Amino acid sequence: MSFALNIIAKSTIILVTAAVLCLLLRRASAASRHAVWVLAVMSALLLPIATAILPQLQLPVLPQAHTSVRLIPMTFQAAITTTGQSAKPLFPYSAWELLAFVWGAGLALLLLRLLICASRLALLAKSATSLRDETWGEMLLELSHRMGHRKPVRLLFSAADVSPMTWGVWRHTVLMPAQANEWPLERKRLVLAHELAHVKRSDGILHLFVQLACGIYWFNPLIWYAARSAQTERERACDDRVLNLGAAAEDYADHLVQIVRGLQARKSPSFAALAMAQPSQLESRLVSILDGRTRRRELS
């Protein structure tokens, strides 16, 4: 019990510290704030392992109390033992056992949701078509070279109404809606650059760690705030990378609005993938994109 309370208290302090630090860094780049949130979530995720492995320093705070032992007559002690054996608890489980069961059920549900989203991604990839247009291939090679990404990226096109998205840890996949083939050349380039920014930043594996932390600390509202903030800063950081390639802020913002407006489905398997066009983030991202005072320095 004390171990669990210790983990909850320490993880809460870590997340609160990250929130305060990001508030102080509100004029810094989105990549810097995203790094702070990811570091805090990863620290909370590794906290139980570190607490169990690392030696604990025990400091004497209070003097040891002297206990006095008083003998109890054997007849009275036997009566107590007999009474205790005959009495049965009204409920067979303790409060801590019930809390552990509730926590385990919540963790199982969130992991099941992540598994379902991963299965949806696999079905989308299986039904999607591979790259056929030479224009997409040329842009993919050019942008990968400019961003310094050398690993191959699989580019797929889905007939389903989906947002442009990216997923993968070792083998990265970029999924575009089929109507992306009808987009203007500039929109194709900007969207592909945004998705490749996720690949370059290794956002896929970081996203999975954040989701795992949400599963472990699902009862703590601070972990959900941290996950949502990390997601917002992640998308802003990728927007900054696109703008650093020379894209005009007004044009990029207009293309982003047009993509969100073109989406009919408002839900996507975003728990397992990195979806570009999230309506809930549109306003804050537009403000960041159009703000000329925003620092867009990339973390090396």
For 45, residues 6+ apart whose C-beta sits below 8 A from its C-beta are: 209, 212, 213, 216
Model confidence at 152, pLDDT cuts 50, 70, 90, reads confident
Which amino acid type is present at position 181?
A: N
Q: Please check the confidence at residue 69 and state whether its pLDDT lies above 50.
A: no
pTM of the shown model:
0.82
Residue 285 within any structural domain of the chain: yes
pLDDT of 252 > 80? The answer is yes
Task: Say how far apart CA 276 and CA 166 lie, in whole Å.
Answer: 8
Is residue 119 in a domain?
yes
Lowest mean pLDDT among 25-34, 80-89, 138-147: 80-89
Which sign does the torsion angle of CA 91, 97, 101, 103 carry? positive
Asked whether the predicted pLDDT for residue 259 surpasses 70, the reply is: yes
Integer-rounded Cα Rg, in Å, for the chain is 26
Domain assignment present for 218: yes
Distance CA 226, CA 39 (A): 11
Q: What is the pLDDT of residue 80?
A: 46
Domain assignment of residue 118, yes or no: yes
Among 40-49, 67-76, 87-96, 228-237, the range scoring the smallest mean pLDDT is 67-76
Average pLDDT, the chain: 84
Q: Is residue 262 part of a domain?
A: yes
Q: How many residues are recorded in the chain?
A: 300
Confidence of residue 21 (pLDDT cuts 50, 70, 90): very high
Give the model's pLDDT for residue 264: 63
CATH number assigned to the domain comprising residue 150 = 3.30.2010.10
Least confident window among 10-19, 154-163, 259-268 = 259-268
Domain-embedded: residue 186:
yes
Which of 1-10, 151-160, 225-234 has the lowest average pLDDT? Answer: 1-10
**Residue 214's pLDDT band (cuts 50, 70, 90):** very high
Total count of domains within the chain: 1
Supply the pLDDT for residue 92. 66
- Report yes or no on 89 lying in a domain: no
Reduced 3-state DSSP string for 226-287: HHHHHHHHHHHHHHHHHHHCCCCHHHHHHHHHHHHHHCCCCCCCCCCCEECCCHHHHHHHHH
pLDDT for 175-210, tens place per residue? 999 889 999 999 999 999 999 999 999 999 999 999
Region 209-229: what's the mean pLDDT? 95
Residue 53 lies in a domain: no
Domain that holds residue 255: 2-43+103-290
Mean pLDDT on 125-148: 88
